[in-house]
Amino acid sequence: MSFDYNVLVIDPNTQQPIGACDHEQSFERYVVDFNDFRTLHYAQNTALNTRAPINGFDMVRIWIRGEEIQPDDPTYGWSILLDPNRIDAYQTTDVFYKIVFNKAVRLVIPLIEVSYLTTQGYCLKCSGLGVLNDFKPEVGGGFLRITQQAKLAQKGLKWILTSRCAFYPSFVCPLKSYVGKKLGIQLTDTDIQTSVTAALNQMQNVQQAQATVQTTFGGNMDPLEMMKDIQFVTAEIDPNNPTSVQVQAVISTFNGTSVPLSFQMMVNN
C-alpha cells in the first residue's frame, strides 16, 4: 500500500465534491484614477472599478507598496461605495462596488493590492467550479492522504488530464491539447473517448510492469490501487451546452471493486 496527497475535486466513492473554495481573491492589482485620484480601477482592465463583486466588506484588505492600509487611515483611508454603472454582470442580481480613497492619493504609480471574497461565478481561485483541485488540508494541519480506490481514481485522472508522466514521457494523453478545439470539425466525441481509453490502457500496462518489480523487492502493490479492467468509457456532448463534453469512465480494481472517473471538458463548437 502507498499513499499520495489528495487533490481530487470529487470523492470517487460518494460522488460528493470535496475541498470547497472560499472564493478569496488575493492581491489583485489596482491603479488609482488619474482624474479624481480617488477611485480604484482593476489594473488589468481599467474600464472596470472592481473586477468582481465584493462578498463581505469586513474581508476587504488593501496594501500600498506592501504596507496594509486601514479604512480609517488619515492619509490613505478608503471606503466601499455602490457601483451602479457596471453592466457586464454574470447574474442580473449581482451587485458591484467600487473602492474609493477618502482623500486624493497622488502617488506616482503606487502598487495597490486588494484582497477580498467574491462569489463563485467570479472566482479566479476555483475558476467558478466551487471546489479546488489542490492539496486538501486535514484537521491536524497537514495534508490529507489518499489511498486505495480513491488513489487509483486520482492516478487515473492525472494520467488522462495532465497528459504527461515524468517517468514514462512517451505515454502521453492528447486530451489537454483538445481543450478549445472545434468540436465536429477538429475533434469528435469519439476522439475524446479513444484517447481516454488509450491512456487508461497505458496506465494499466505501466502498473503491471511496476507490480512485477515491486513484488521482487518485497513491497506488494495494494490490489485496490491496481487497475484490472476498463469497464466503460463514454464521451457525450452536454445537450444543454454544445461546448461541454461529459466524460464518464469506470475501471475495476484487482479486488473487483469499481472506481468511477468522470470529468467535464470544454471545447468550441
Judged by the rule CB under 5 A, the positions of this chain that interact with Zn ion are 21, 23, 123, 125-126
Query: Which position has the grid cell 475501471?
Result: 251
- Residue with Cβ nearer Zn ion (21 or 250): 21
Least distance CB 81 / Zn ion (angstroms):
25
- Residue with Cβ nearer Zn ion (52 or 123): 123
- Residue with Cβ nearer Zn ion (56 or 66): 56
- Residue with Cβ nearer Zn ion (19 or 156): 19
- Residue with Cβ nearer Zn ion (90 or 232): 90
Least distance CB 123 / Zn ion (angstroms):
3
Least distance CB 203 / Zn ion (angstroms):
30
Least distance CB 115 / Zn ion (angstroms):
13
If you write DSSP's letter for every residue of the chain in order, what string do you get? ---EE---SB-TTT--B-SB---EEEEEEEEE-TTTS-BEEETT-TT-SSSS--S-GGG-EEEETTEEE-TT-TTT-EEEEE-TT----SSTT---EEEEESS----SS--EEEEEE--GGG-TTTTTSSB--SPPBPTTSSB-EE-HHHHHHHHHHHHHHS---SS-TT---THHHHTTPBBTTTB-HHHHHHHHHHHHHHHHHHHHHHHHHHHHTT-PPPGGGSEEEEEEEEEEEETTEEEEEEEEEEEEETTS-EEEEEEEEE-B-
Least distance CB 143 / Zn ion (angstroms):
19
- Residue with Cβ nearer Zn ion (132 or 251): 132
Least distance CB 134 / Zn ion (angstroms):
11
